[in-house]
Amino acid sequence: MKVLLATSKPFALPAVQGIQHIIESAGHQFVKLEKYEEESQLLDAVKDADALIIRSDIVNKEAMKAAPNLKIVVRAGAGYDNVDLEAATDCGICVMNTPGQNANAVAELVFGMMIYAQRNRFDGSVGHELIRKRLGLYAFGSVAKMVAKIARGFDMPVYAYSPILTHDDLRKEGEYGVIPADSSEELFRNSDFISLHMPLLDDTRRCVNYSLLSLTPQDGFLINTARKELVDEDDLIRIMEERPAFQYATDVKPDKHDEFLQKFPKRYFTTPKKLGAQTAEANKNAGLAAANQIVAFFRDGDECFRVNQ
């Protein structure tokens, strides 16, 4: 089988070498397309591929139609909103992700961004500490769990709200010691920092809106290492205009980046490129997991991490 690694934002070399080793040791052919800039390059590369490993690369209906042999797409990472699941099902293609594999890298970045902003970007002025500040986690998947774990070291009370987990579910996760919130409203009301961890779905798009944001303290702090589409940008701009101490730090550059930057140069921060999962360790964890999943799929029909119907 021909396995294509297509990454416009490439993995670190040891991860690529590890993927290649796993694929070739199982008797498959390994090819790669890295740092591509045009969709046409992907359409061309995928045309005789049986399997595809991607990151945030867009795999739409057109890409699937261009790949008549394609049987499996593995998103080496958590969120798979970049893959058209319906089209995949129609084409008989199995789509998987590699849950949890890059969670620690993203969680560490949450703290990196909080500290950077609380210390005024290390400009020498008097900043603030994280200790005993209330942290709210919106959703409670793999990344949020790692954030909760690290937060204990900062002695931060951690609140969590998940639309799909009950209080009992959250309490059962005893090792993370989170305080379950009844609703997203309660979460936003009780938190000094809010960190977003939900996937992008139809019903999570722009779910962080004016009515939720207005419940936070005046000097609230929103951290987004998930997806830009979760936040209603106009509503966030309105809140930041109304509240001179409100801050936004994001690893997913908003569509209105220029406006945020121009209006709130000291209270808005974005990474230049999404880099939550951009560590050697996360690249290796997610990349090797993807390669192993493909090998198991072809060898045993293993569909353990399948996300489409």
- Cα–Cα distance between 110 and 195 in angstroms, integer? 8
By CB under 6 A, is residue 197 in contact with ligand 3PG? no
Q: Specify the stretch interacting with ligand 3PG by CB under 6 A; choose among 64-72, 202-210, 231-239, 274-282.
A: 274-282
302: tokens are: 């293993």
Angle, alpha carbons 172-164-81 (nearest 5°):
125
By CB under 6 A, is residue 274 in contact with ligand 3PG? yes
SS3 at position 101: coil
Name residues contacting ligand 3PG, limited to 277-306 (CB under 6 A): 277-278
Candidates 16, 19, 52, 56: give the one binding ligand 3PG (CB under 6 A): 56
Measured at CB, which residue is nearest to ligand 3PG?
77
Least distance between ligand 3PG and beta carbon 265 (Å): 26
SS3 at position 285: helix
Residue 74 φ/ψ, nearest 5 degrees: -115, 120
- Cα–Cα distance between 199 and 78 in angstroms, integer? 9
Q: How many residues bind ligand 3PG (CB under 6 A)?
A: 11
Candidates 79, 141, 220, 287: give the one binding ligand 3PG (CB under 6 A): 79
Binding mask 7-46 for ligand 3PG (x = CB under 6 A): --x-------------------------------------
By CB under 6 A, is residue 133 in contact with ligand 3PG? no
- Pick from 145, 143, 151, 235: nearest CA to 193: 151
Shorter beta-carbon distance to ligand 3PG: residue 77 or 220: 77
Shorter beta-carbon distance to ligand 3PG: residue 220 or 276: 276
Name residues contacting ligand 3PG, limited to 59-78 (CB under 6 A): 77-78
- Cα–Cα distance between 188 and 181 in angstroms, integer? 9
Q: Name the packing angle between helices 103-118 and 142-153 (round to 10°).
A: 50
Q: Name the packing angle between helices 13-25 and 280-300 (round to 10°).
A: 10
Contacting positions for ligand 3PG (CB under 6 A): 9, 55-56, 77-79, 102, 274, 276-278
